[in-house]
A = this chain, B = another copy of it.
Amino acid sequence: PPSPLQPPGLPLAPRRSFSNNKIQVELDESSGVAMMKFKSPPVNSLSLEFLTEFSISLEKLENDRACRGVIITSALPKIFSSGLDITEMCGKSMEHYAEFWRAVQEMWLRLYGSNMVTVAAVNGSSPAGGCLIALSCDYRIMAENPKFSIGLNEAQLGIVAPFWFKDTFVNVVGHRIAERSLQLGSLHPAPEAHRLGLVDELVPEEKLTEKAAAVMAQWLALPDHARQLTKTMMRKAVLDRLVAHREEDIKNFITFISKESIQKSLRMYMEMLKKKK
Contacts and interface: CB of A to CB of B under 8 A. Distances in A.
Contacts of A243: none
B178 A175 contact: no
A226 B176 contact: no
Q: How large is the interface on A (under 10, 10 to 19, 20 to 34, 35 or more residues)?
A: 35 or more
A90 interface: no
A178 B234 contact: yes
A54 to B, nearest CB: 23
A219 B265 contact: no
A184 interface: yes
Contacts of A179: 138, 171, 231, 234-235
A180 interface: yes
A225 B157 CA distance: 11
A256 to B, nearest CB: 9
Given A155-B223, A155-B227, A171 B175 contact: yes
A166 B159 CA distance: 31
Interface in A119-169: 138-139, 154-161, 163, 166
A176 to B, nearest CB: 5
Interface string A161-193: 101001000111111101110111100000000
Contacts of A170: 175
Contact of A183 (B157, B160, B163, B219): B219
Contacts of A155: 222-223, 226-227, 230
Interface in A80-110: none
Interface of A: 138-139, 154-161, 163, 166, 170-176, 178-180, 182-185, 197, 200, 218-219, 222-223, 225-227, 229-231, 233-235, 261, 265
